[in-house]
Structure 1
Amino acid sequence: MHHSKSRNNTLLVLIARYETSEETLAELELQSSREDRVYDKGEHAFSFVLIVPSSSAPFERCVHGRIFHTLEAVVQGEGRMGSNIEASVPIYLVANPAPVGETSDLNIRAEGFNERLGPYSIAIVARNLTVGGLLHFDARLAALPSRTQIVSVSTIIVAHYTINSNQRLSQPPQFATKATKLFVLDANNPPIPQTQVPTKIPPASTTRRDRKPEEPLTTVEPGESYQVMHLVRLPNDDTIRPSTPQGTKTPIDTRHELVLEIVFKNINEDHEAGKAAVLRTVHPITLSSCACMVPSLLVPAYTVDDTPPPLSKSPLTTTFWDIKCTDKCMCTVSMEDLVKEFRAAEERERTTHSQRALQASSRGVTTVVSWDDLNGDKFDYEPIGRA
């Protein structure tokens, strides 16, 4: 009798205590007749299919806890003195929120009018919205009503965590928020021309601060327009974690919002700059795992003479701590290759006029707040809501 199990292990970091739990997600039992239980000397392979429920918690490793999985095989009564033969290997479960075999694209369009900035439009596009992927931002102020200083343009990705206890079901969930700044464009860090693509984009934490923060990025005259486009790479899975798909049963639930901020100052008739204000747009997004690449989501083609893969000769000593990004992970793709793929997708979209690419997401919240509400240069984010 042969058993195969897919097991989920959870380590939660709650306030002032740790919590661990274990759960069997799926189990398969292969029955053998008495005649089939006599095997020749050597290695033997047993084919099986183990269906893991789609609601299973995916792999997770964040500051609030870890979720990892192991595949266990048990041969009952075939060991020494009738004992069981057992072996286990860690597996990497990833949840893909997109349809089967597809990737998660993003196409956000936000348009509006503000008394201090006039009409504005914001476009955020991603060909495959994953951890370690690319995001393209395009913000345009069509006609400013007065002389205006554009102080900075920045983008933040906000993660909202909901942590539930598996042992104390009556305990209310805990909530946590983490804001990661993706980029800052200001006088110290001006936009890079679209014709120049750097091999590596530095994170926002390395931006220069050697000038006074009051110095504007640019000054726009009345009636003139202002447009800024920026291509940014999302951090790897050590910095941000993927979103949790709806319907997932997990003690660590993650939701994301994308925030774009334009800090500006209106200049009065006395040529004096007023207080800084912020045009802020907030959009809920679903961020896929860095493992959700096209090569990873497609099954290899079958051939007539298909043979099973050879048995591994290496001992099963790998632990979940050793699971890292593979060659089919977005984090390992170079910036140059990502940009080439992005440009190629743009060209295909331009020639085919794909109807799917023209579908825009209108969800989001746009507000104009005083710079004083943000405590100066510190980003103090509070959820505005999900539209």
Structure 2
Amino acid sequence: MVLGSLFTQPSLSLTLSEDMVFVHPSQFEPDLLLPSTGRDPLIFGTALLSLPSAKAVNKIRVVFEGLCDASGGSGQPYESSTTLHKELEIDLKGEIIEAGDHAFNFSFIVPSNTAPYQRCNYGRTRHSVKATASFAGAFTPSVSSPPIAVYVVASPQAAGEVPLPADISIQHFSEDLGPVGIGFASPHLTVASLVNVRVTMLGAPSPVQILSIDSFVTQQYEIQYTNGKVHHPKAKRYILRKISSTDSTPSPSLCVPICTGSCNGGQPTSQELPLAPASSPSSTDCCPPRPDLPSCDSNPLAALDAEQGFHYSRTMRVPTDDHVRPTTLEGTKARIRVSHKLSVEVRYRLAGAEQDKILFIGKDMVIGSCCALADSLLLPSYSACAPKTIQRPLHMRCYCSTSLKEMVDRDGLALQRAGEIQEPNSFRLLGADAGSKSPGFTDTGTPTLRGSPRYEMEELEEY
């Protein structure tokens, strides 16, 4: 047993309390903040050093880093840059630490202007936390933990709030169609959400034939290089798919089950929010996400006489995150920025004319991340046995096309791993990053809990 421990190398593992962090840029934050709260969230973690035998440890270092790979496309340079770098270090000065497991707790401030997670054809932005332990002497090399991914999501709402309903109206006057009103309404204008598109015409001055009405979301990327150069690739339009709302009620979101009141014959059994099921949404009885039923308009839509009014209303679906990425909020230090414009295209033909005409009306919109949905933040029900496999890799983190079972499989492994960690022989506080001080920190740089004077070791262990 003693001989085996001599040939066993030390190991270092890292565990985070959560791997998804929501930031709120200052432009969207209220001017007045409570003294006990801050707009900068915290991430907590533990570095677990396992020693097969007593070792002289020099330093324990934890790095929280954000990297961005960006390219404007064909003919444009490719660049890799660091968007965020924070370090915490404890100098043990060669202290002899006995064999066993030793936990070092730490916390980092995540600035609200941190570049959010991004993946697209023009690059990616990702964050990770990694720990390294160095030892005294030349015979024991340094050990490092595998990097743990951290997904930073920017939300236009205040902390703890879900995306607000959207109801936007646009008025326009056309010489051919007269006064035209455009309306967009959505319970939450996010990626993969539902949008009701309305077009109202008070009356054209002459007879006109309405051929088709379609809605698009135009996505524009902006690539910012470290030398100050800015490149705008060609914008791309994505059509909003028209779905049927008569045969069945479309799901509010394609990512997680949201109760629509139809789980009990149209009569909800309670006014409270339903618990998130522990199984796949496809097998749950409470309003599981259903595939959209495509629907087409008649062609032509209508033949209008002079001064005849017309109203059009359709339910449409915003594309998933594989096509439409969340809008980049002002105030974030993102090098890959995304902006959106929601528009309506009306194709028509005047009486006696041989060619079609197009009326195109649009407005800039903020399309939020689907991760900010309230239902995607609910904890799943506990099960008797923890899942042992992960069906989806961590880099596919958006909830647009993720079932609840896949979320449980993914996060359940971390819970299982945390539950299997034996009681460490010792606990130490590695430190709290105070490089970017927020209102939630005292003047001494010590993090504070709401209702607690300061973090004590016991509180951090229970977290």
The TM tier, using the shorter chain, reads 0.5 to 0.7
Question: Structure 1: how far apart are the matches of 2:137 and 2:313?
Answer: 65
**Corresponding residue for 1:281?**
361
> Is 140-149 or 77-86 further displaced after alignment?
77-86
Cα RMSD over matched residues?
A: 3.6
Residue 99 in structure 1 maps to residue 190 in structure 2: no
Q: Is the aligned partner of 1:69 residue 2:139?
A: no
Change in Cα spacing, 1:252 to 1:225, as seen in structure 2 (3 Å) is same
Pick closer, same or farther for the CA change 1:274–1:116 going to 2, 3 Å. Answer: farther
CA spacing shift, 1:2–1:297, aligned 2, 3 Å: farther
Correspondence list, 1:231-380, <5 A: 231-267=315-351, 272-273=352-353, 275-296=355-376, 322-325=394-397, 329-332=399-402
Alpha-carbon distance in 2 for matches of 1:153, 1:22: 44
Shift of 1:72: 1.0
The 3 A distance-change label for structure 1 pair 35 and 283 is: same
Q: Which residue of 1 aligns with 2:436?
A: none
Letter matched to residue 373 of structure 2: M
Give the Cα separation in 2 of the matches to 1:20 and 1:128.
35
- Structure-to-structure mapping, 1:149-228, within 5 angstroms: 149-166=209-226, 169=227, 171-183=229-241, 192=244, 194=246, 196-197=248-249, 199-201=290-292, 216-228=300-312
Q: Number of aligned pairs? A: 297
In the TM superposition, what is the alpha-carbon distance from 1:8 to its structure 2 partner?
A: 1.6
Percent of pairs with identical residues: 24
Q: Which runs of 5+ in 1 are unaligned?
A: 185-190, 301-311, 335-387
Matched to 2:198, the amino acid is D
* Corresponding position of 2:200: 140
Whole-angstrom distance in 2 between the partners of 1:37 and 1:202:
66
| 1:116 corresponds to | 176
Closer/same/farther in 2, CA of residues 84 and 194 from structure 1, 3 Å limit: same
Contact 1:78 1:85 survives alignment (8 Å): no
Once residues 24 and 280 of structure 1 are traced to their aligned partners in structure 2, the CA distance between those partners, rounded to angstroms, is 38
Contact 2:327 2:368 in 1 (8 A): yes
Which amino acid in structure 1 is aligned with residue 167 of structure 2? Answer: N
Q: Which one-letter code corresponds to 1:263 in the other structure?
A: R
1:232 deviates by 1.3
Q: Is the alpha carbon distance of 1:281 and 1:103 closer, same or farther for their aligned partners in structure 2, counting shifts above 3 Å?
A: farther
How far residue 63 of structure 1 moved from its aligned partner, in angstroms, is 1.0
In structure 2, what is the Cα distance between the partners aligned to 1:224 and 1:45?
75
CA contact (8 A) 1:157 1:182 kept: yes
Name the CA shift for 1:332/1:321 in 2 (closer, same or farther; >3 Å). Answer: closer
Check conservation: 2:134, 2:142, Cα contact below 8 A.
Answer: yes
Q: What are the Cα deviations for residues 168-216 of structure 1, in whole angstroms up to 9, with x where unaligned?
A: x1545344311112247xxxxxx84656546433689xx79xx9xxx52
Matched residue, 1:230 = 314
**Native 8 Å contact 1:124 1:138 kept in 2:** yes
What is the deviation of 1:284?
Answer: 0.4
Q: Secondary structure at the match of 2:139?
A: helix
1:163–1:22 Cα change, 3 Å = closer
Contact 1:112 1:121 in 2 (8 A): yes
Instruction: Give the corresponding residue for 1:354.
Output: none
Using the size of structure 1 for normalisation, the TM-score is 0.66
TM-score normalised by L of structure 2: 0.56
Question: How has the CA–CA distance of structure 1 residues 149 and 254 changed in structure 2, closer, same or farther, with 3 Å as cutoff?
Answer: same
Which deviates more from structure 2 when the two are superposed, residues 109-118 or residues 146-155?
Answer: 109-118
| Matched residue SS, 2:372 | coil
Offset at 1:107? 1.8
Shift of residue 163, structure 1, vs aligned partner: 1.0
Is contact 1:150–1:216 with CA below 8 Å preserved after alignment? yes
Q: For the structure 1 residues 170 and 325, does the alpha-carbon distance in structure 2 shift closer, same or farther, using more than 3 Å as the test?
A: closer
Superposed displacement of residue 248, structure 1: 1.6
1:84 to 124, 142, 166: 142
Deviations 1:125-167 (A, max 9, x none): 122111111111111113333322111101111111111223x
Specify whether residues 78 and 147 from structure 1 end up closer, same or farther in structure 2 by C-alpha distance, changes over 3 A only. Answer: farther
Aligned to 2:185: 125
Instruction: Call closer, same or farther: CA 1:33–1:64 in 2, change over 3 Å.
Output: closer
Are the structure 2 counterparts of residues 314 and 321 from structure 1 closer, same or farther at C-alpha, using a change threshold of 3 Å? closer
| Counterpart-to-counterpart distance in 1, 2:96 and 2:183 | 64
- Which amino acid is the alignment partner of residue 329 of structure 2? P
Question: Is the Cα–Cα contact under 8 Å of residues 9 and 20 in structure 1 kept in the other structure?
Answer: no
